[in-house]
Amino acid sequence: MIPIWLTSVTSWFAEKFGGKIVAFGLDKIRTKLQSVFASRNILILGDSQTGKSSLILYLTTGKPYQIENGQISAPEKTSGYAVVDKKVTVNDNQLVVKMDLAGEQDMRSLWKMAIEKVRPVGIIYMLNGRLEKDELENEIQEIFDDVLCHYEGNQGAGLEAIHLFVNFVDQWGINNVEIRNKLRKISQSFDKRLNSKPSLLYLRVDVSATQFSPHKDSWIEADRALFSFGSDLL
C-alpha cells in the first residue's frame, strides 16, 4: 500500500517539474544517441618509438604513462597491434581510438589493414622531432608511402584530416622561435609533397609540437595539438 503523503508529493512533483524531467530525459537520450552515432574513428601512426602508445594513454587516461607497483613508467614497446577501442572527447568532439599499432617498417602491412578496417576520419602521425633534417624528410616521405598512398584517388575512404605531432619538443625545442622554425620546415616539406597529389588536396593538415614526458606534471603542448585536431574533425 503506497502512503497517501507519497502519492501527494509525487503528484505535486510531477505537476511542477514533469515537463522539465521529460525534457531532461530526452536531452540525455539525444546526447547519448549523438555520442553513439557521431563517434568517429581515428588512428595514431608513426615510426617506432615516437610516442604513439603514450599519446593513446594520454587520450584514454589523462596521463601519458602507466603506474605499475607504484612506479611510473612509459608504455612498453608495442608488438603487432593492440585493440584499444575507447571513446575519447577531443575539443568537444567524440572520437574513437581503435588501435595501437607498431611502427616498425616490417609491420607496416598492419597499417594498411587498420586503415581498411577502421576507416579513420582523422590520423595523427607522430614524428620524432629529435631527428636531423634528412631523417625527418625521410619520415615525411613515409607518411605518403605508407599511409596516404592508400587514399590516393579514393576520397570516399573518409579521411578528413591528418595532423603531424612533432614529439619530444622538451628535448629539441630550445625556444619558441626554434620550435616555430622546425614546424614551418616540416609543414613546407609535407605541403610540397601534398601539392603533387591532387586527389589529397582536400585534406586538412596541421603540424604541432608535443611532449609526453612521464616526468612532467602537465602536457600543454599536447592539449593544444589535440584541440586543433579535434577542431579539424568537427
Partner 1 sequence: MNTPPTIFDILEKHLSKGASFLATQGIDYQKNVFTLNVQQLQPSNISITKGDIARVGLLPSGSKWRQGLGWYSVFGVPFQLQNKYWLAVGAEMIVKHVRGDTHPIFQAYIFEFTQEQLSLIITGLQNIAQEIYPNSKSIRQSKTGVVFSNFQSPQKYRIVESFIIQSAIAIYREGQTLLFRTVILSDEQLKKIDYPAPNFWGDKSGYLMGTTTHIQNTFTWQARLKLFLCRTYTFK
Give me the residues that bind partner 1 (CB under 8 A), please: 48-49, 53, 68, 75-83, 100, 102, 104, 106-110, 113, 117
Q: Closest approach of Cβ 146 to partner 1, in Å?
A: 11
Smallest distance from the beta carbon of 118 to partner 1, in angstroms? 10
What's the min distance (Å) between Cβ of 229 and partner 1?
Answer: 22
Going by C-alpha positions, the residue among 173, 184, 165, 77 that lies closest to residue 130 is 173
Residue for cell digits 604541432? 208
Q: Which is nearer to partner 1, 48 or 189 (CB)?
A: 48
How far is it, in rounded angstroms, from Cα 78 to Cα 217? 24
Of 49 and 187, CB closest to partner 1: 49
Query: How many angstroms separate the Cα of 39 from the Cα of each of 53, 72, 207, 234?
Result: 21, 31, 24, 11
Residue 80, Ramachandran bin (φ over 0: left; ψ between -120 and 50: alpha; else beta): left
Q: How far is the CB of 56 from partner 1 (least distance, A)?
A: 9
Return the number of the residue (36 or 113) whose C-beta is nearest partner 1: 113
The residue (of 39 and 48) whose beta carbon lies closer to partner 1 is: 48
Helix (H) or strand (E) holding 169: helix 169-172
